[in-house]
Amino acid sequence: MSSSEPAVDDTLDTPFFLRWLTTAATSVSHEAARLTDLDSAIGDADHGTNMQRGFAAVAEALEKEPPGSPGATLILAGRQLISKVGGASGPLYGTLLRRAGKALGDAEQITPQQLADALRAGVDAVAQLGGAAPGDKTMLDALLPAVEALGGATGSFAAAGEAAEKGALATVPMLARKGRASYLGERSVGHQDPGATSSALLIAALAEAAR
């Protein structure tokens, strides 16, 4: 853990959230080809391109009309993803950020614990929308361990990043039960889930922004 990591009583402001999402946009852009490759193994080879397009739109919108609060930042980002991405990723990631943003309300300063709770609300909304559970080989397998790590007693952004990365790797031996990969049944085994991978990128960007 970095020494400059926000402590439990630290607060996170709007610039922190802007930094998180622009970092995520850069990271998704760098990893787009890898996401698309993962998706071509068990899906339809568009995840990287779609995420790149969506997060580029997020970065552009945040620059054009910088929101006044952390909650508004996440809501604007979520709306951009829903209206630009398409596929399953658009509604799912859009819902994750929008719901988390709504949970934050219009507070200007957020504690890490409040962010953990808001992200938990977002992840719950994703689970409900996609009808998936842990172990189904979806983005939830990275997001759930991340919010648990972040919300725990010794929670930190770095721990959340590590948990998400570990969760994404853990999808390799899983049998896909939701999304397009589920149509493959047994043949989905042995491939890392592209959605869990992009989720890990998003959480890693959070840890990066906190540094």
Partner 1 sequence: MKMLINVPETVVADALRGMAACHPELIVDVENRVIVRRDAPVEGKVGLVSGGGSGHEPLHGGFVGSGMLDAACPGEVFTSPVPDQMVRAAAAVDSGKGVLFIIKNYTGDVLNFDMAAELAEDEGIQVAKVLVNDDVAVTDSLYTAGRRGTGATLFVEKIAGAAAAEGAPLEQVESIARRVNELSRSFGVALSPCSTPSKGGPTFELPAGELELGVGIHGEPGRERRAMMTSHEIADYAVQVVVEDLRPENPVLLLVNGMGATPQLELYGFAAEVHRALGERQVAVARTLVGNYVTSLDMAGASITLCQVDEDLLRLWDAPVRTAGLRWGA
Q: Which residues make up the interface to partner 1 (CB under 8 A)?
A: 36, 40-46, 49-50, 53, 82-92, 129-130, 177-180, 182-185, 187
Smallest separation, CB 25 to partner 1 (Å): 17
183 CB-contact burial (10 Å; exposed 0-12 / middle 13-18 / buried 19+) = exposed
Smallest separation, CB 207 to partner 1 (Å): 28
Looking at the chain, the number of H-run helices and the number of E-run strands are 9, 0
Q: Which is nearer to partner 1, 166 or 180 (CB)?
A: 180
Residues in the chain: 211
Q: What's the rounded Cα separation, in Å, for the pair 141 and 154?
A: 21
Q: Which is nearer to partner 1, 41 or 107 (CB)?
A: 41
Smallest separation, CB 200 to partner 1 (Å): 20
Smallest separation, CB 140 to partner 1 (Å): 13
Q: Which is nearer to partner 1, 105 or 183 (CB)?
A: 183
Smallest separation, CB 176 to partner 1 (Å): 9
Q: What's the rounded Cα separation, in Å, for the pair 209 and 203?
A: 10
Query: Which residues are registered as beta bridge partners of 12?
Result: 110
Q: Which is nearer to partner 1, 6 or 86 (CB)?
A: 86
* Cβ neighbours for 44, distance < 8 A, ≥ 6 positions apart: 180
Name the residue with tokens 């969506």.
Answer: 54
Q: Which is nearer to partner 1, 48 or 112 (CB)?
A: 48
Question: How is residue 7 written in tokens?
Answer: 């402590």
